[in-house]
Amino acid sequence: MPDTAAEAPAPDQIVFDVEGMTCASCALRIERILSKQVGIASTVVNFAGQEARVMTNTEVDVASLVQSVERIGYEITVKTLETDRVDVVERYSDEERYQRRNFLGSLAFTIPVLILAWFIPESRSNGIAQWGLATVSEFYFGRQFHVAAAKRLRGFTASMDTLISIGTLAAWGTRSGRSSPTGHCSSTPPPSSSRSFSSDASSRPGPKAVLPRQSANSWSWARSRPGS
């Protein structure tokens, strides 16, 4: 059965719900992509309202508009009369609850990491515990940032999600190299290195007392004076 929504003449104005925008640059990027499509007269993307409005001057393929935006890592759906009546606060209440749950969950795993790092003596078991807690926080509660960054990467673009993903992965990877089960969590050098350093230091001769050149010249001049 053919897709009648894609073949039917598009109205003068089409309104889309947009998901995945995190800053004004995202809105400008979507606006630029939609404006390049055939049949689009003008495009306005509202970051605060998470929507895009396009004005058409001819028949357009709505499916191609959706695909063009999805290729750069965002999701858009045509807004219907039913979704237009839904209050904005109610529309994003699920997102608010989701973000609150992620924040509280990440906080519950981050506070023990800080306690172990600041107040507990460093040891191998301490490092492994920190690594495990940080891994859950990074890849479970922070998964949304990595998924969004991967979508942007497929479209050769970047956003705030990309910066967050790179920054947190760099911090996690640096700590994992020291605290993972296969890494080292102690900053104390091996005993053999300490003994070698001590023996080398004891075998070295001490610094020799050197008379400053100016003092030596003054002493020679004083000896050469008559009556000295």
Residue 117 vs residues 6, 28, 132, 187: alpha-carbon distances, Å = 58, 42, 13, 13
Residue 179 vs residues 36, 132, 183, 191: alpha-carbon distances, Å = 50, 9, 6, 20
Q: So what's the pLDDT on residue 204?
A: 56
Q: So what's the pLDDT on residue 197?
A: 47
The domain spans of the chain are 8-90, 95-179
The predicted model scores a pTM of 0.60
Percentage of the chain beyond pLDDT 70 is 68
Whether residue 220 is predicted with pLDDT greater than 90 in this model: the reply is: no
Q: What are phi and psi of 16, to 5 degrees?
A: -120, 145
Task: With cut-offs at 50, 70 and 90, classify the pLDDT of residue 66.
Answer: very high
Whether residue 9 is predicted with pLDDT greater than 60 in this model: the reply is: no
Give the angle 34-68-72 at the CA atoms, nearest 5°: 100
Give the tokens for residue 147: 């998924």
- pLDDT tens profile 142-175: 999 999 888 888 878 888 888 999 999 999 988 7
Which stretch of DSSP H or E encloses residue 126? helix 124-136
Q: Which fold has domain 8-90?
A: Alpha-Beta Plaits (3.30.70)
Which of the residue ranges 88-92, 107-111, 140-144, 172-176 would you say has the lowest mean pLDDT? 88-92
